[in-house]
Amino acid sequence: MTSVALLMAAGSGSRFGADRPKQYLSLAGRPVLRHAAEALLRDGGVDAILPVCASDSLAMVAAILEGLPTLPPVVGGATRQASVRAGLEALAGDPPALVLVHDGARPVVPPGTVPALLAALERHPGAIPAQPVTDTLKRGEAGLIQATVPRAGLFRAQTPQAFRFAPLLAAHRTATAEATDDAQLLEAAGLAVALLPGHEQNIKITWPEDLARMEAALTPPLLPRIGTGFDVHRLVAGRPMVLCGVTIPGPMGLDGHSDADVGLHALCDAIYGALAEGDIGRWFPPSEAQWKDADSARFLRHAAGRIAARGGVLANADVTLICERPKITPHATAMRERLAALLEVPLDRISVKATTTERLGFPGRGEGIAAQAAVCLLVPT
Ligand SMILES: Nc1ccn([C@@H]2O[C@H](COP(=O)(O)OP(=O)(O)OP(=O)(O)O)[C@@H](O)[C@H]2O)c(=O)n1
Ligand SMILES: C[C@](O)(CO)[C@H](O)COP(=O)(O)O
């Protein structure tokens, strides 16, 4: 093996103050540590990851990293330096040529970072990513400024930090003082460590607000998706009149394979259209006997399920019923309530309204009822 990455996860996250160490908290649905491991491996160049963690977390860490090229986890120490040393000693019997040391609490390793670090090791025994300090620096005490510290030539060190294995192990074995990163030990040994460009997204999660910032950065933006639907059913005697999930008593009803709820069908088609998932006939073919006289509410629940399956939400829906009779206004609130309940959204996201065609055409002659619907969904890109 030519390069191994130590993934540091033996800290307790005392500044973060959660019920678990921060590297095990969920970020965009997966543990922070899993993000860090995948990010390390993404560009290639790392043959295996060696996790370093607390003794009571060995099985959990192995489970979190399942499926990735990992070596069995090693137990860390009381300080970060002691933990890195434990990882290096575990490799010393069959040493890799190169080693990277990465904080398990840094879930983002920007693309290109690992290849650039490994390339720099051809010229130097160590290389790290670092960001130039851009704020004015103050030294303070008891809430008062003591001095302004010149910031020229100052950098904020990040990880992964990359080293030739032998000098890093030697530096750890001979260290006399506690270092907050590994480059410091090579510096103390008088060895050159290259400074490569770091990245603002490479945040070490230290405080709760860091995790919140990362969550916002990793959550895919929601894309508005518009859909429209249109449907017509014939008016006949002796059939129920179900419109937008509400049954309206009377001698005439709508003809169709299902309960012929024309408004609800238009709404389903608008949703399927917004998702580019066909139409109601694709999901519930009229050729299938099981949908005969079916309550169309189940179609709308299915459409709502498709929105949820895509991780989306319904921003709003607007249904227009086109008929002379029945008069819709007395029923509009009940229809909105029924649709909102089926879609599990607040009432103010649903509109139901009606129009006539001034007695023109088939709706005007009372031969049928038409409905059109428009929806706006917000769906992750
Ligand atoms: N004894 C330790 C201490 C820290 N780390 C790891 O080193 C990285 C950076 O350390 P830090 O942010 O200081 O983590 P914690 O020590 O967990 O945090 P705190 O200082 O707030 O307790 C983390 O991934 C952490 O798990 C480690 O492996 N062993
Ligand atoms: C290694 C490190 O992430 C580089 O910035 C940092 O030094 C860790 O520091 P901490 O004091 O352990 O948080």
Report ipTM for this prediction. Answer: 0.93
Mean of the pLDDT values across residues 136-160? Answer: 97
The 10s digit of each residue's pLDDT in 62-81 is 999 999 999 999 999 999 99
Inter-residue contact 76 to 7 (CB < 8 Å): no
C-alpha torsion angle, residues 20, 24, 26, 30 (rounded to 10): -160
Calculate how far, in angstroms, residue 139's C-alpha sits from the geometric centre of ligand 2: 20
Q: Is 244 left (phi over 0), alpha (psi -120 to 50) or beta?
A: left
Out of 206-210, 285-289, 305-309, 372-376, least confident range: 285-289
- The CATH classification number of 3-218 equals 3.90.550.10
Q: For ligand 2, atom 13, which residue shows the shortest CA distance?
A: 206
Query: Which ranges in the chain are annotated with CATH 3.30.1330.50?
Result: 222-380
* Residue 266: band (very low, low, confident or very high) from pLDDT cuts 50, 70, 90: very high
204 within ligand 1 shell (Cβ under 6 A)? yes
Calculate how far, in angstroms, residue 285's C-alpha sits from the geometric centre of ligand 1: 58
pLDDT at 1: 56
What is the percent of the chain with per-residue pLDDT over 90, rounded to a whole number? 95
- The CATH classification number of 222-380 equals 3.30.1330.50
DSSP 73-138: PEE--SSHHHHHHHHHHHHTTS--SEEEEEETT-----TTHHHHHHHHTTT-SEEEEEEE--SPEE
pLDDT at 294: 87
Atom of ligand 2 at shortest range from CA of 105: 3
Between CA 356 and CA 346 the distance in angstroms is: 28
181 within ligand 2 shell (Cβ under 6 A)? yes
pLDDT at 225: 98
User: Considering the chain, what is the average pLDDT of its residues?
Assistant: 96
Calculate how far, in angstroms, residue 73's C-alpha sits from the geometric centre of ligand 1: 16
Between CA 296 and CA 319 the distance in angstroms is: 15
In this predicted structure, the answer to whether residue 222 has a pLDDT above a threshold of 90 is yes
For residue 73, give the amino acid letter.
Answer: P
Atom of ligand 1 at shortest range from CA of 206: 12
Quickly tell me which residue has 């419109």 as its tokens: 243
Calculate how far, in angstroms, residue 88's C-alpha sits from the geometric centre of ligand 2: 18
pLDDT at 287: 86
In this predicted structure, the answer to whether residue 128 has a pLDDT above a threshold of 60 is yes
From 6, 7, 8, mutation site for ligand 1 pocket: most ligand atoms within 8 A of C-beta: 8
Inter-residue contact 189 to 336 (CB < 8 Å): no
pLDDT at 143: 97
Inter-residue contact 59 to 128 (CB < 8 Å): no
Between CA 254 and CA 114 the distance in angstroms is: 66
> Which residues partner with 179 through β-bridges?
none
Binding residues for a divalent metal cation: 231, 233, 265
pLDDT at 352: 98
From 58, 64, 75, 80, mutation site for ligand 1 pocket: most ligand atoms within 8 A of C-beta: 80
Closest ligand, as measured to the CA of 179: 2
pLDDT at 178: 93
pLDDT at 289: 84
From first CA to last CA, the distance across the chain in angstroms is 39
What is the percent of the chain with per-residue pLDDT over 70, rounded to a whole number? 100
Closest listed residue to residue 314, CA positions, set 221, 220, 224, 219: 224
Mean of the pLDDT values across residues 317-331? Answer: 97
In this predicted structure, the answer to whether residue 244 has a pLDDT above a threshold of 60 is yes
Closest ligand, as measured to the CA of 14: 1
180 within ligand 2 shell (Cβ under 6 A)? yes
Phi, psi of 322 (to 5 degrees): -120, 105
Query: Which ranges in the chain are annotated with CATH 3.90.550.10?
Result: 3-218
Inter-residue contact 103 to 210 (CB < 8 Å): no
Atom of ligand 1 at shortest range from CA of 11: 17
Q: For ligand 2, atom 12, which residue shows the shortest CA distance?
A: 180
Q: What is the pTM of this model?
A: 0.74
Quickly tell me which residue has 């990851």 as its tokens: 49
Closest ligand, as measured to the CA of 82: 1
Mean of the pLDDT values across residues 310-328? Answer: 97
* Residue 168: band (very low, low, confident or very high) from pLDDT cuts 50, 70, 90: very high
pLDDT at 218: 83
263 within ligand 1 shell (Cβ under 6 A)? no
14 within ligand 1 shell (Cβ under 6 A)? yes
Quickly tell me which residue has 């899993």 as its tokens: 34
Calculate how far, in angstroms, residue 183's C-alpha sits from the geometric centre of ligand 1: 16
In this predicted structure, the answer to whether residue 192 has a pLDDT above a threshold of 60 is yes
80 within ligand 2 shell (Cβ under 6 A)? yes
204 within ligand 2 shell (Cβ under 6 A)? yes
